[in-house]
Amino acid sequence: MGMTMTQKILADHANLPSVKAGDLVEAKLDLVLGNDVTTPVAVDVFEEAGLTKVFDKDKIAIVLDHYTPCKDIASANLCATARAFAKKHGITHLYDVGEVGIEHALLPEKGLVGPGDCIIGADSHTCTYGALGAFSTGVGSTDMAAGMASGENWFKVPDAIQVVLTGKKQPYVTGKDVILHLIGMIGVDGALYRSLEFTGEGVAELSMDDRFTIANMAIEAGAKNGIFPVDEKTMEYIKDRFPREPKVFTADEDAHYESVVEIDLNTLEPTVSMPHLPSNTKKAEEVRGLHIDQAVIGSCTNGRISDLRAAAEILKGRHVAEGVRCIVIPATQEIYLQSIKEGLTEIFLAAGCAVSTPTCGPCLGGHMGVMSAGERAVATTNRNFVGRMGHVESEVILASPYVAAASAVAGCIELPCNLPEVN
């Protein structure tokens, strides 16, 4: 029996000729990731276990992104713990205020992750790096501590679901619409502990940013990881960025897939997830006119430069509706600077948006956009659980940057194609 991409990467890192679904393997790690919320817990575990040395100071990344710049004393204490640990152990990749970015946008940008890597992170959206043809998955802080000490982690080899993409994207359709549509099809537990492996001619239609978005939200279908084949776009992205020799793995023709799901991009329309589950999807057209109080454009899912360009395309020459707060958060410092250079930031400010330094902020109800009871937001984030962005009686609708920006202008859920022409 052949192997999937994920299985080949795990076999390689476990130094085994082959693996199959259900096997338990001990695999070497190329990177261990933590943030300002999860690293302090891992530090406590690390020190309580009597561990005194990290396995490789160059293969650990600590990114202070969730509550930074620190919003209160508690978050300041968390960051202080992470900084002290990084300094004590000489951690090379500590990213702090002024140099920070939202971790899952920052690490690919910095070239810390690439094709064929095996990566764990104490954050559920670590699966983002599957866009580059890596095996990457979220773990708990205890596993992060063990990974920092040993450079290895135990994995149960996952079975796989093959997602075959065909056709071409239509106007205003993005990777966000692809993944929301998929989650709507299979449910939030439809890929539980499976690898979502994306294939088909439609993959070539997706930009790298589309792929990052899709892989990022694999966890919202319960997946262990999401992964894309390495192609010319992948290699172009890592050129002059990824310092190591990439390992390119391809699935065997006789690889076993538990099931196959097909998505025709030709027929895909802008899609939203209604409260309070990512799987509660509808075509955006079906919920047009639903009032919103806030729009959030950013996060590890949709805070990249193409996302900001999409939002600026809609907001240029227009203004956010009265009574609506529109918050734009570039995912990294580099993206923020590029937004300024391209004039996107000026467009956002002229439209009445608030533009923030890179932070996870409102995505997890942290800061920079927490909602009160009865308020509703449309957001390019990845989760819309009860109380996710504030009060338990607030609501979050997940959408693409195009739909979020158009809705901010209209004051309700709206499609870009339905906005009046700009004079």
Mean pLDDT of the chain: 96
| CA–CA separation, 233 and 175 (whole Å) | 15
Cis peptide before 69 (omega within 30 of 0): yes
Whole-number pLDDT of residue 422: 85
Residue 331 pLDDT > 90: yes
Segments of the chain assigned to CATH 3.30.499.10: 5-240+252-264, 272-418
**188: helix, coil or strand?**
coil
d(CA 393, CA 310): 30
Tokens describing residue 160 = 């796989």
Q: Crossing angle for the helix pair 401-410 and 305-315, nearest 10 degrees?
A: 30
Contact 38, 138 (CB under 8 A): no
pLDDT category at 335 given cuts 50, 70, 90 is very high
- Specify the DSSP class assigned to residue 412: B
Residue 420: per-residue pLDDT: 87
Q: 303, 133, 114, 299: which is closest to 215 by C-alpha?
A: 133
Using DSSP, state whether 136 is helix, strand or coil: strand
pLDDT attached to residue 216? 97
How far is residue 61's CA from residue 32's CA, in Å, rounded to a whole number? 6
3-state SS, residue 269? coil
Mean pLDDT of 243-266: 95
Tokens of 169: 């994207």
CA–CA dist 11, 2 (Å, integer): 12
How big is the CA angle at 111 (ends 8 and 255), to the nearest 5 degrees?
15
% of the chain at pLDDT higher than 90: 97
DSSP for residue 244: S
| CATH H superfamily, domain 5-240+252-264 | Aconitase, domain 3 (3.30.499.10)
Q: Which fold has domain 272-418?
A: Aconitase; domain 3 (3.30.499)
SS (H, E, C) 126-147: HHHHHHHCCEEEECCHHHHHHH
Can you name the residues that pair with 227 across neighbouring β-strands? 197
Give pLDDT tens digits for 174-231: 999 999 999 999 999 999 999 999 999 999 999 999 999 999 999 999 999 999 999 9
Phi, then psi, of 120 in degrees rounded to 5 = -120, 150
Q: Is the pLDDT of residue 421 over 90?
A: no
The answer, yes or no, to whether residue 423 has pLDDT greater than 80, is: no
Residue 334: its pLDDT value, please? Answer: 96
Select from 240, 282, 21, 45 the least CA-distant residue to 144. Answer: 45
Residue with tokens 């590890």: 300
Using the predicted structure, report yes or no on whether residue 157 has a pLDDT greater than 80. Answer: yes
Burial of 110 (0-12, 13-18, 19+ CB in 10 A): middle
pLDDT at residue 311 in the model: 98
pLDDT above 90: residue 68 = no
* Half-sphere exposure of residue 104: CA atoms within 13 angstroms, side-chain side: 35
And the tokens for 74? 């508690």
Number of helices followed by number of strands (H, E) in the chain: 13, 18
Nearest to 251 by CA among 5, 2, 1: 5
SS3 123: coil
DSSP for 350-393?
HTT-EE--S--GGGGT-SSS-B-TT-EEEESSS---TTTTBSTT
pLDDT at position 419 is 87
Distance CA 254, CA 257 (A): 9
Task: Report the relative pairing of strands 118-121 and 31-35 from DSSP bridges.
Answer: parallel
Token pair belonging to 202? 């439609």
* Identity at 68, one-letter amino acid code: T
Answer whether 392's CB lies under 8 Å from 386's CB.
yes
